[in-house]
Amino acid sequence: MPPLIELDVKIEDIDVRGLFDPGANLTIANLQFLKKIKKKVQLDRQFTFNTMSGSDRILGVAWLKMKIFNIEKRMRFFAVDKSEFRFDVLLGLDSITEYKLRMDEQLNVSQASVNHDNIDESKSDAVKTNEDNVMSVN
């Protein structure tokens, strides 16, 4: 099993370990985490999405302030109720592109920033790989 890539992020000024998953299209927040930080979920957008292990149900949407490395902005999180998923959030392609995240062949995650047509890679000690078998909600 390939290693899991965990990333330190701040959500609503709270330190959180997220799962970096470029194979997921959506950024997902676990409902238990949203309850813990007392954030409401807009329940008007419930739908089902497919994963490798079957299908899951999106309960709604929450807009949260998230900071990754040097970029902070409000991001859309799709809420799921997955008690067996041990991460608070899963960072999918929508967050990866929005926050300009890059991963090298050593699985190090960095953030590209554009300065005068040059790309400056800012590495962080916030990245940790983990080889535990975790059921992903992507």
Task: Encode pLDDT of 113-123 as tens digits.
Answer: 755 344 444 44
Q: Positive or negative CA dihedral for 52, 56, 58, 63?
A: negative
Coil/strand/helix, residue 26: coil
Instruction: Give the residue among 19, 27, 26 at the shortest CA–CA distance from 3.
Output: 19
Listed in sequence order, the residues at least 6 apart from 83 whose beta carbon sits closer than 8 Å to its beta carbon are 32
Model confidence over 46-92: pLDDT tens digits?
677 766 566 778 888 999 999 999 999 999 999 998 888 889 999 99
SS3 34: helix
Domain ranges of the chain: 4-130
Is domain 4-130 given the CATH code 2.40.70.10 in the classification?
Answer: yes
Alpha-helix runs per DSSP H in the chain: 31-36, 93-98
pLDDT digits (tens, 9 = 90+) for 25-54: 999 999 999 999 998 888 766 677 766 566
pTM of structure: 0.77
